[in-house]
Amino acid sequence: MTRLTDGNKTIEIAMQTWTGSEYTPDFSNDFFEVGGLEYDEETDTYKVDDVDYCIDQANDWKESIGDYAMDENEAEKSVFVKEI
């Protein structure tokens, strides 16, 4: 899980694909390119401009909308979000 905050809202988010028998490892760190984000060690969170926008982008990926369009045969995608 990746922890994201915009100063107003903090979430844990995981993004995985169902392979038919199990979920793949979470790749939300890669999706949000956390290596380029400011990290707060005290709260163990990555700072973003807008948490809700990040959730929207993850859900677009899940639903294969816009930049995340795919062909119909790809595996089922899941996004798990928990506000903390």
Say if CB 77 and CB 15 are below 8 A apart.
yes
**In sequence order, what are the residues at sequence separation of 6 or more whose Cβ sits closer than 8 angstroms to the Cβ of residue 46?**
2, 3, 4, 5, 32, 34, 37, 38, 39, 40
Using CB atoms within 10 Å of the CB of residue 12, give its burial: 0 to 12 exposed, 13 to 18 middle, 19+ buried: middle
How far apart CA 49 and CA 32 sit, in angstroms, is 12
Average pLDDT by stretches of 10, the chain with 84 residues? 97 94 95 97 97 97 85 78 97
pTM of the model: 0.90
List the domain boundaries for the chain. 2-83
